[in-house]
Amino acid sequence: MKLRGRILDVACLNRFTRVVTTISKLTKVCVLRLTPDNLFFVLSGKVANGGIGMWCELSQANVFDEYQMEGVSSEDNEICLEVTPENLSRALKTVQSAKAVKVKLTKKHCPCLTIAAELPTMSSTSRVVTHDVPVDIVPRRLWHEFKEPSMPDFHVSVYLPPLKTMKNVVDRMKNLSNFLVMEANLIGEMNLKIETDLVSVTTHFKDLGNPPWGDDASQDGGPSHSREPEAMVQARVDIRKLQQFLMGQQVNPSKAMCNIVHERVVHLILLHEDVSLQYFIPAVA
Amino acid sequence: MKSVLPLFRCLTSIERNVERCQISITPPNDQVMIQFFCRHGITKTHNLCFQESEALQAVFASHLSPNVLKAPARLLSDMVMHFPVSQEEITLSMTPLRVSLRNYYEGGDDHMKNMYTEMSLHPDEFDYFQIGVESDITFCLKELRGLLSFAESHCLPVSVHFGAAGKPVCFSVEDMVLEATVVLATLIDSESRGPSQPTETLAPTTPSCADAAAAVLPVGSCEADSRKPQDIAAVMELIASSQGSPIINPPALMLLLPQIDDSNKLSVADEACHSATTTPASSTICSLLFRALSSEDNDGCAARLPVLAFHSDEEEEDYTREQSCYT
């Protein structure tokens, strides 16, 4: 297994750092998959994670100016590492001013992702910074757990309101209840509801719009055709998971969508430039 | 210090309202009186109780250190910025070609899971670079951060004096009105042995207050259970008091302490440091004793303590008193 990459463009380095920082806010540990064309940050929806699934995809060409990767074998030409994204984020943040950043897979005291950079100084000499981020190699037999999740058969898909607004609402609701109901319909309306013994609060969002997935998208045939456009589809989720998702976002995405499978799962999709982030929050009873 | 800080916290209001500040000690009380004489005839008086206590002293002749680095505080801050705030200890390495910093972890179960960071600089980046011996010293980063942020806010250069591993490292900043020194113990061996020695700050000095009638100085004897009085030594770094009491050069001061001879002084430092690290009360060491220049020195307990800022008209008396400490 071999990995050598160089980031030369400041904007690319910046964007990559922001993505990694967002990931670090969503989860403590995740899997980094490297293929000849892409990088993926993956969290499999296991019970241990509270059922949360995450899939973040970026193309390596938009990060690295030079990229050499040799996977485990020629048939399985990819590298699968378990990493703590916070370490990676910290390392990248300190080298923002570098002219070139090298990313390598190395073996020091343990397998590491080494971030090395030369930082410019006032004099003609340069400073060298090296960060060794420890990683765990994920064995091939476990790779199936980190495959791209299939698009769920959602009942409704709706564009999200501005994330900042949502975050403000959810932050306040969190003080009142542990669970929140997200519901949406086919005419671009979405509600966030909490209900306790003493109080129930609902925030209504209108005119959000529904993404045109097209007829061949997996809207299940029977029920959705007979579903009335105003009928709300809902899922009750742990409010902290939704809050965590909203807290982590650093940039306003160019597209933000939410797919709801009635009482099963909330599937959030963010698209920003060439980076896509999908987040699955399971519904609770 | 927690009681003193709030009084001086609001700089803007102090600048606007306070005409004069007087800090004094009246001998019968165990109290420091801080008075702010403000506009409109208002006087604010704060009385703070203090306790005399014994402070640890760092015996460290920094001018004899083989390795010296001088750099603007900004440079050192930029170096430590690469390490997480939670990083406890750090290793500074010096070779003729490079100065580098690495984080340091004691051996442990999660040894493998730690992120290792190293950064290195070319000697040319420093204002002054002197290497006498190639060394790797490991010391507590947290203590250093405080000094660096202070130095950076005042745009002061920082000097670093150190030697081989195990010898103390001294960070100092100097200005027209103040001189601050932080002496840190370093691990004896860079390769960690079983129980590592906690690194400590010994006797940090504090700036002298320009208006004060007293000189501020760290005074006290080394708190060591098994040490005999002969091993007690005085701080080598002296603070220029605003009243202009004579500054004694360290070698001259050494002559006043007959039991300590030159060849042993650095090893005494080590022993002092070691004993400091093993005494139970050594975790926070900072003791100030305000001493008005004109006051009578007839406190029984004070008589036991060596005084560094000599009263300009009472030198002989102090010398005699000091001699009696060590007999």
Note the pLDDT of residue A80.
Answer: 93
In chain B, which residue ranges form alpha helices assigned H by DSSP? 5-8, 11-17, 73-80, 141-153, 250-255, 265-278, 300-303, 315-325
CB-based contact A91 B117, cutoff 8 Å: yes
Is B118's Cβ below 8 Å from some Cβ in A? yes
- Confidence label for A212 from pLDDT (cuts 50, 70 and 90): confident
Q: Which of A96, A34, A54 is nearest to A241 (CA)?
A: A54
* A258 touches A210 (CB < 8 A): no
C-alpha–C-alpha distance, residues A155 and A184, integer Å: 9
**According to the model, what pLDDT value does residue B107 have?**
66
Q: How many CA atoms lie within 13 A of B213 on its CB side?
A: 15
Q: Residues of B with CB below 8 A from A129's CB?
A: 82, 117-119
Chain A closest-CA separation from residue B182 CA (Å): 26
- Report the C-alpha gap between B159 and B152 in whole angstroms: 13
Chain centre to alpha carbon of residue A199: 33
Contact (Cβ atoms closer than 8 angstroms) between residue B254 and residue B237 = no
Per-residue pLDDT tens digits for B298-324 = 343 333 444 444 444 444 444 444 444
Rg over alpha carbons for chain B, rounded to the nearest Å, is 21
Q: Which of B259, B241, B261 is nearest to B251 (CA)?
A: B261
Mean per-residue pLDDT, A206-216: 78
A130/B119 touch (CB, cutoff 8 Å), yes or no: yes
Task: Enumerate residues 95 to 114 of chain B having a beta carbon within 8 A of any beta carbon in chain A.
Answer: 111-114
Q: Please name the member of B82, B115, B122 whose beta carbon is closest to the beta carbon of A129.
A: B82
Suggest the residue from A129, A133, A137 to mutate for an interface test with chain B (most B CBs closer than 10 A).
Answer: A129
Contact at CB, A91 and B84, closer than 8 angstroms: no
Q: Across residues B55-79, what is the average pLDDT?
A: 83
CB count within 10 Å of CB B81 equals 13
> Can you read off the two tokens belonging to residue A81?
């590492």
pLDDT at A180: 94
Contact A109 B116 (CB under 8 A): yes
Closest Cβ–Cβ partner in B81, B112, B121 for A94:
B81
Look at residue B29 in the predicted model and tell me its pLDDT: 75
Q: What is the CA radius of gyration of chain A?
A: 21
B117 touches chain A (CB under 8 A): yes
Q: Give residue B137's region: left, alpha or beta (phi > 0; psi -120 to 50).
A: beta
Would you call B20 an interface residue with chain A, using a CB distance cutoff of 8 Å?
A: no
3-state secondary structure A88-122: HHHHHHHCCCCCEEEEEEEECCCEEEEEEEEECCC
Mean pLDDT confidence for B202-231: 34
**Closest chain A C-alpha to B83 CA, distance in angstroms:** 9
Q: Say if pTM beats, i.e. exceeds, 0.90.
A: no
Closest residue of chain A to B82, computed from CA coordinates: A94
Contacts of B117 in chain A (CB under 8 A): 91, 129-132
Burial class, A159, CB count within 10 angstroms (exposed 0-12 / middle 13-18 / buried 19+) = middle
From the list A196, A262, A266, A215, the residue with the least C-alpha distance to A238 is A266
- Given B84, B113, B122, which is nearest A90 (Cβ)? B84
| Interface probe with A: pick from B87, B116, B118, most Cβ of A within 10 Å | B116
Predicted confidence band at A57 (pLDDT cuts at 50, 70, 90)? very high
B111 contacts A132? CB cut-off 8 A: no
The stretch B84-97 carries a mean pLDDT of 89
A159 phi and psi angles, rounded to 5 deg: -75, 145
Confidence bin at B112 (pLDDT 50/70/90): low
- Interchain contact, A134 vs B113, CB within 8 Å: yes
**Whole-number percent of chain A with pLDDT over 90:** 63
Instruction: Report d(CA A95, CA B98) in Å as an integer.
Output: 20
| Partner B contacted by A29 (CB < 8 A) | no
| Burial environment of residue B93 by CB neighbours within 10 A (0 to 12, 13 to 18, 19 or more) | middle
Q: What span, in angstroms and rounded, lies between the C-alpha atoms of B60 and B218?
A: 14
Tokens standing for residue B183: 């002496």
Q: How far apart are CA A284 and CA A236, in angstroms?
A: 6
pLDDT (average), residues B261-288: 35
Record: contact A132-B82, CB cut-off 8 A: no
State residue A226's pLDDT score.
58
User: Residue B63 — very low, low, confident or very high, per pLDDT cuts 50/70/90?
Assistant: confident
pLDDT by residue (tens digit) across A100-149? Answer: 999 999 988 889 999 999 988 877 788 899 999 999 999 999 988 888 88
Q: Where does residue B145 rank: exposed (0-12), middle (13-18), buried (19+ CB within 10 A)? A: middle
Distance of CA A4 to the CA centre of its chain: 24
d(CA B114, CA A129): 17
Residues in chain A closer than 8 A to B81 (CB atoms)? 94
Determine the pLDDT at residue A113. Answer: 93
DSSP characters for A51-72? T-EEEEEEEGGGT-SEEEEE-S
CA B88 to centroid of chain Cα atoms: 19
Contact A194, A251 (CB under 8 A): no
CA-nearest of A141, A82, A87 to A115 is A87
Smallest Cα distance from A115 to chain B, Å: 9
In angstroms, the separation between the Cα of residue A95 and the nearest Cα of chain B is 9
Cβ of A123 and B118 within 8 Å? no
Amino acid B326 reads: Y
Q: Do A131 and B120 touch (CB under 8 A)?
A: no
**Taking CB atoms and an 8 Å cutoff, what residues of chain A touch B113?**
84, 134
Average pLDDT value for chain A: 88
Size of chain A, expressed as the number of residues it contains: 285
Distance separating alpha carbons of residues A171 and A246, to the nearest angstrom: 9
**C-alpha distance from B186 to closest chain A C-alpha (Å):** 24
Q: Pick from A131, A133, A136, A137 the residue to mutate for testing the B interface (most B CBs within 10 Å).
A: A131
Report residue B229's pLDDT band, with 50, 70 and 90 as the boundaries. very low
Residues 69-128 of A with CB under 8 A from B: 84, 87, 90-91, 94, 108-110, 112, 121-128
Q: Which residues contact A165 (CB under 8 A, 6 or more apart)?
A: none
pLDDT tens per residue, range B151-175:
988 889 999 999 888 888 999 998 8
- The percentage of residues in chain B with a pLDDT greater than 90, rounded to a whole number, is 9
pLDDT for A62-83, tens place per residue? 999 999 999 888 888 899 999 9
Task: Indicate the burial class of A166 (C-beta count within 10 angstroms; 0-12, 13-18, 19 or more).
Answer: buried
**Does residue B268 have a pLDDT over 50?**
no
Query: What residues in B contact A112, CB-CB < 8 Å?
Result: 116
Confidence of residue B109 (pLDDT cuts 50, 70, 90): low
